[in-house]
Structure 1
Amino acid sequence: GQQIRLLGESVFSRWKQSVDPGHPFPEKGYHGEYILDLARQISMQEDLGNMAEEDAIAFCSRFGKEKMLEEIRSDLEEFRVHFDTWSSETDLHGSGLLEQSLQALRQRGMVYERDGALWIRTTDYGDDKDRVIRKRDGQYTYFASDISYHLQKRSRGFTGAINIWGADHHGYVQRVKAALNSSGVEEGWLSVLLIQLVKLWKGGQEVKMSKRAGQYVTLRELLEEVGVDAARFVFLTKNHDSTLDFDVDLVKKQDSDNPVYYVQYAHARICSIFRKAAEEGLPVHWDPPPVLGKLTAEEEMALIRNMAEFPPLLEDACGKLEPHRLTYYLADLAGLFHKYFNMGTKNAEYRVINTDDVELSRARLFLAGALRIVLENGLGLLGITAPEKM
């Protein structure tokens, strides 16, 4: 595509400027240290001077694309985001799927020619106008590739698809759905979540970024500074349609202001309670003990009621595609536990382990064990670790 071509031109210009500082840089080219890095890597592997300029730019485009994609894959794996299949527009063209999709649309009478271009009748399915899928010069539009990409997914047997797009693509949603409906895909098969921007804050100031100007913070840099667990938790604290303010300084704190620390610390505290119970020789039975009736404190009842909400909350959050509700739930549950635990540090009567009342200790250990399971499962669903010590 045009953006990959521009990447190649940018890299080539930086390479050329290393021997000819006056060589012009593309007006809309990409800036940033990474372009220089790519040019340096190429200079160590290939002599672009022996190539025609057009061939050199094409080489820079391929090299840059492969290197950037390699970094993206690596960063996502580090972030615990795994994709089973990676697709490219080139694959769609090479596989013949694009032509197959168009042929199917022709058979359904959903395409027509006008002004030398090929159009799809998306207005029949709610779009505000019909769309071009093949330009008069014979080149396919991005829209044609998008249609084929989704049809290929459906042909693999998926009963639904969820797309995550930037908010600036909101005008694209209805036309894609209309195109799929015109291809025989049932209404509701495609769901689109539009995500808002993330604003990064450090030292009380917003970090200004511009991709084209080369001013940005990469995901890897963020992970190196705050860690994968903290980054995942914070990214999941807002609904997809809300702007996210990511405060780096807050996320690095080790106190109740830091939500991920607060939740993980609750799990670690419970693990320490069980280590203490083992030291005291208190037996832990995972079958509900008959002494559970000894749990009478209002704080204990609050924990039990809150844990009982876990299964229906998960079902509802999954059905509505709202994972942020789980982060808030875990933070609330952790807050209840920390309040309960701190009561015991001030008043021995509320301690989980009380050697003077073994039955009460057994009941409270069972409660703590149930809480540990919920916290571990909740964090696990978010792809976040549940540490036993902190």
Structure 2
Amino acid sequence: MNLFADIKTLVLDKLTAMQDAGTLPDGLDFSNVTVEPPRDAAHGDMATNAAMVLAKPAKMKPRDIADALAGQLAEDPRIALAEVAGPGFLNLRLSNAVWQGLVSGVLADAGFGRSELGANQKINVEYVSANPTGPLHVGHTRGAVFGDALASLLDYAGYDVTREYYINDGGAQVDVLARSVYLRYLEAHGQEVAFEDGTYPGDYLIEVGQALKDKVGDRFVGKDESEWLEEIREFATERMLDLIREDLAALGVKMDVFFSEKSLYGTGKIEAALDDLDGKGLIYEGVLEPPKGKLPEDWEPREQTLFRSTVHGDDVDRPVKKSDGSWTYFAPDIAYHYDKITRGFDALIDVFGADHGGYVKRMKAAVSALSDGKTPLDVKLTQLVKLYKDGEPFKMSKRAGTFVTLRDVVDQVGPDVTRFVMLTRKNDAPLDFDFDKVLEQSKDNPVFYVQYAHARVHSVLRKAADLGVDVSDEAISKQDLAGLTDPAEIAVAKKLAEWPRLVEIAARTHEPHRVAFYLYELASEFHALWNRGNDQPELRFVQEGDLVTTSAKLVLPRAVAVVISSGLGILGVKPLEEMR
């Protein structure tokens, strides 16, 4: 049930009838006709741009089209008023019966808000994808929450979603990890060690070093790196992946696929991807122009194997093989996305950190070239998170050595608060995370305000049940809602009506933060109605001594709880039934 879609269908039907009657010419394109909430709620419940977008192709004045359409719409019992404003805007007010039916419909429709927008298209959402060299930090936390909520949103909107983690285990950083673990291994044998040359000093490797000792004894003590590097690299990487999986689980994130970069090397997969591009005339040998700005001292023009990425919208062509014959970092990334394409995904989404902004165009160019423009890639950048506690920047984690970990955040406030707060800003906007404020029990704390609304509904249901009311959805959804007419009640119903439309907009734009914003607005309308009941007893949900009226009054708050529960489910936050 999507009320905005229903009214849009009504508008289109009336426009077609106007064509049949000769009021409008045939052959008009209605694809740009919309029905949306008006910018100013005082103007009505919905507004359509039909007259404005059809005036030019119809060779008519917008006002003339709007007047005729208003007359047509006024014939429908759902439309209480169709009012033309300005040069041809058409504002609509719906009858109370529509809002009453909408509220009942929320309980009658088990899938209220769910959409078939995705039409079961296969979509891959890759997120987190941190180097397996240590615990996840707070920046990864935001990417993990954003990616996971986006995946849930797309699933809710009818897509077939795969959640994927790309393990960056093919580069030099994994060798550094192995050397760091070796130092902890020597330490476990009682030796004094020094962490130099960029090795990782975090305490989290102490257990790994001890575990390695338990497994191999003193077999690697005093041995040359060539004898232990490969084995320790594999051991350490797997241990770090276990740690990362635990971190993600603490946040409520579970991946469908962990894809290893290392699996691309020596298997012909990188060569296959570049052969595909070569077959399209996009690989050549050439020399790049020097970098813009200050010229590095060690820069010299070298012939390299280049990808002609500028053909697909990039600023410059990109090297895929160095002059010494080794692959660049970009080459395996091309192969990885080629693998995604060959797996049959209809669309790809990559969630990158703020420091990957320069990678967006080249990756889009690669996917466009590999798929012949058929597989869209949307890259979402998550900006930095600034942590505060007691009014001061939150200090680094000793365990990690150099940064605040995901676990630091979750241990402080819990996964629900962490997830919701991470979605209170758009992904590409910086986020301040204040440990004190996110735990406040006030309207200024959005996660509390939304969960409090859900808990309030359940407190009402418990109170009504104690009075003998059957509070099951089946029972209360059958009640007559003719008494639901107060403006505060209608305001809540109107906000409920926006949910299916909001889901589709958020899914199309890949913006799960819209869900968090909407839930806060819905909670605000609900709390406002609750507070009005303090002064107007007839608005209270429980009418003591009148079980029939109470049963009917319960439909609206229960509908609010249903939508809040659905929205929080998308965000990965548990809806609370009681708060202390």
Check the 8 A contact 2:178/2:232 in 1, yes or no. yes
Cα deviation 1:205-227 (Å, max 9, x = unaligned):
11244899813232123222211
Identify which of 343, 349, 362 aligns with 2:538.
349
Check the 8 A contact 1:196/1:244 in 2, yes or no. yes
Identify which of 464, 477, 482 aligns with 1:287.
477
- 1:265 and 2:452 matched: yes
- 1:240 and 2:410 matched: no
- SS of the counterpart of 1:90? helix
- SS of the counterpart of 2:351? strand
Cα displacement (A) at 1:274? 1.4
TM-score by length of 2: 0.63
- 1:2 and 2:168 matched: no
Check the 8 A contact 2:476/2:551 in 1, yes or no. no
Residue in 2 aligned with 1:199? 386
Amino acid corresponding to residue 433 of structure 2 in structure 1? F
- Name structure 2 gaps, 5 residues minimum: 1-170, 287-301
Residue in 2 aligned with 1:36? 206
Cα deviation 1:4-51 (Å, max 9, x = unaligned):
111222232344456443x55322222221233332332333222163
- Name structure 1 gaps, 5 residues minimum: none
Cα distance between partner residues in 2 of 1:366 and 1:81: 33
Cα distance between partner residues in 1 of 2:207 and 2:388: 27
Cα distance between partner residues in 2 of 1:213 and 1:158: 37
Residue in 1 aligned with 2:225? 53
Cα distance between partner residues in 2 of 1:20 and 1:359: 79
Check the 8 A contact 1:208/1:215 in 2, yes or no. no
- SS of the counterpart of 1:293? coil
Residue in 2 aligned with 1:155? 342
Cα distance between partner residues in 1 of 2:443 and 2:314: 49
Which has the larger share of helix? 1
Cα distance between partner residues in 2 of 1:276 and 1:210: 46
Cα displacement (A) at 1:356? 4.3
- SS of the counterpart of 1:216? coil
Cα distance between partner residues in 1 of 2:341 and 2:240: 29
Amino acid corresponding to residue 344 of structure 2 in structure 1? G
Amino acid corresponding to residue 501 of structure 2 in structure 1? P
Cα distance between partner residues in 2 of 1:372 and 1:213: 40
Cα displacement (A) at 1:119? 1.6
Cα distance between partner residues in 1 of 2:415 and 2:577: 17
Residue in 1 aligned with 2:461? 274
Coordinate RMSD, CA, aligned = 2.4
Amino acid corresponding to residue 271 of structure 2 in structure 1? E
Cα displacement (A) at 1:297? 2.3
Residue in 2 aligned with 1:256? 443
Cα deviation 1:182-206 (Å, max 9, x = unaligned):
3343166110001101111111111
Cα distance between partner residues in 2 of 1:328 and 1:78: 24
- Which protein, 1 or 2, shows the higher relative CO under an 8 Å CA cutoff with sep ≥ 6? 2
How many residue pairs end up in the alignment? 388
Check the 8 A contact 2:348/2:375 in 1, yes or no. no
Cα distance between partner residues in 2 of 1:361 and 1:19: 73
Cα displacement (A) at 1:278? 1.7
Residue in 2 aligned with 1:302? 491
Identify which of 99, 108, 113 aligns with 2:285.
113
Cα deviation 1:55-97 (Å, max 9, x = unaligned):
3344433222211111111221232222211111111124422
TM-score by length of 1: 0.91
Amino acid corresponding to residue 127 of structure 1 in structure 2? D
Cα distance between partner residues in 2 of 1:283 and 1:43: 63
Cα distance between partner residues in 2 of 1:37 and 1:166: 29
- Which is worse superposed, 277-286 or 325-334? 277-286
- SS of the counterpart of 1:193? strand
Cα distance between partner residues in 1 of 2:330 and 2:362: 9
Identify which of 567, 571, 579 aligns with 1:378.
567
